[in-house]
Structure 1
């Protein structure tokens, strides 16, 4: 009798799937009813709930082009456009009235002067004011072949060149003893620890500027958590298959650093797009100097292996080429929401690499019966932090 009951329980019932989706159907019905019939509370809000996000201001020969997104719960109508305290005519594409999540483009014919600052205020029919700033007026770069090539060259200088130069330290680093290799790995952790903090800071700063609807700061943490867990699962899967190697860790380091360098490219491209050429040039010099040490960090897990020149070339591209993509995005289609997500993914990837290298140090220390937190390792960690801190001083924030 008991076996018959177990057999019946083990067989999936034909209608069992209904119980799986029934709560979802009921939930959808409740939400639909709330949207169409309300909550039953008749009180009107004291103030209108209007939220406009000025996503982008483009400067052309004809004037300003402003892209606006309604991220609030209510519809918004723009009544007036004010530039530096002067009311100005404008045309709206498609309309001056925006429903929730609607987007409009405002064309403002204005004879702006290069180098001057401008404030663009949008006044709604309810009297709310939403502002956008143009710190230094300069014509927005047009995405043509010449500009693409120029930005690609900038990204190459900032990313591929310094990472490649850092990888040239590989023969020198191989001369170290086992204890010295441990110190180099600890130095790598110091380099990466500084990078992960810097990446989080940059991501959270950009996320705070993203439309509140998209929760930019939350995207940083979500991206970091998911990328960390993804790489951790990948790492553990390789360990179970016995495929873990120093080269794999080097590629993970290069990938994490590449995402960080993508963020640096964003900063440089955005600076040039905003007309801040002097700042952009200073960022190029600072990031190039700053990123040379990254190549050394990428090479450190392979010190006991014999990688080919093709491996070094691939690592330089993985670690440096994203700076080219970042420069393009920053110069032509910068979006703080996606930027914050990229920074979060990069931070999580770097954090997972720190975890992997830390495990390497602990495993090697246990194997050779030496202290994992030795004076050599502590000195290497401290030196890595100092190197990144000092070189970061050359980068203007």
Structure 2
């Protein structure tokens, strides 16, 4: 049990760990932001298409994957449309945070819920070594997500410490679902595939709708190469540790 708790905690906190470099950055220039977003997009598209989707398919079938994926896109699309007309600048909760940044935060948070569940279920399943492998794989995905959130927040003139805390909190939700998955492994295992498919859809929406267009605002060359490097980087890490 102690190993499961440690694995769940470290996997969840990887989001905050990934955001730590933000403490050493000043105001991000548009060119640097585009390059970083391009890199993050590559990492996240690799994590989604080569980790989340194959895992969901392995646990279920194409029908479950398609349903969850489309549901994730639909939910994020609804949130996007509902927040389009909101005056976020006057909100106490979202002061100085624009709509795009809010969408990214919501997407990553929703994305992390089923991931935490999958880590908990993997430990609760009782298969030796499985929990550690899944926790490591999810942790590798969480780190660039935390950095991504921190980039958006820093660009909105949010303080570095506050950006780090918000990024960490989006990953901390995995602790709750991770413990739930561990203790209820025999009951919730069947829904993990739906959750992972949903997470994949939510992330694909954000990558296509927000990250890639934002990365191309100033120039195309450096963000495009950064995208390819990010994708390769995640593939290398997945192949080596996943």
Question: Could you state the TM-score of these two structures normalised by the residue count of structure 2?
Answer: 0.79
1:146-157 equivalent positions in 2, closer than 5 A: 147=1, 151-157=4-10
User: What stretches of structure 2 of length at least 5 have no aligned partner?
Assistant: 89-97
The question of whether the paired residues in 1 share the 8 Å contact of 2:121 and 2:185 is answered with no
Give the stretch that moved more between structures: 220-229 or 255-264: 255-264
Which residue of 2 is the match for residue 394 of structure 1? 240
- Which string of whole-angstrom CA distances, capped at 9 and with x for unpartnered residues, describes residues 4-54 of structure 1? xxxxxxxxxxxxxxxxxxxxxxxxxxxxxxxxxxxxxxxxxxxxxxxxxxx
The structural deviation recorded for 1:179 is 0.9
Which residue of 2 is the match for residue 337 of structure 1? 190
Match of 1:301 among 149, 152, 156: 152
Match of 2:39 among 183, 187, 190: 187
Which residue of 2 is the match for residue 358 of structure 1? 212
Give RMSD over aligned pairs: 2.8
- Which string of whole-angstrom CA distances, capped at 9 and with x for unpartnered residues, describes residues 259-308 of structure 1? 4632551464156x12x1x4544554555455433321232222312325
* Larger CA Rg, structure 1 vs 2: 1
Greater RCO (CA < 8 Å, at least 6 residues apart):
2
Is 1:159 the counterpart of 2:4? The answer is no
User: What stretches of structure 1 of length at least 5 have no aligned partner?
Assistant: 1-146, 209-216
The question of whether the paired residues in 1 share the 8 Å contact of 2:40 and 2:144 is answered with no
Instruction: Give the Cα separation in 1 of the matches to 2:213 and 2:140.
Output: 29
Question: Could you state the TM-score of these two structures normalised by the residue count of structure 1?
Answer: 0.51
Is 1:322 the counterpart of 2:185? The answer is no
Instruction: Give the Cα separation in 2 of the matches to 1:196 and 1:250.
Output: 15
- Greater fraction of residues in helix: 2
1:241-390 equivalent positions in 2, closer than 5 A: 241-243=86-88, 244-259=98-113, 261-262=115-116, 264-266=118-120, 268-270=122-124, 273-274=126-127, 276=128, 278-285=129-136, 287-289=138-140, 291-308=142-159, 309-322=161-174, 325-326=177-178, 328-330=180-182, 332-334=184-186, 335-354=188-207, 355-362=209-216, 365=217, 370-371=218-219, 374-390=220-236
Instruction: Give the Cα separation in 2 of the matches to 1:390 and 1:327.
Output: 29
Number of equivalences: 229
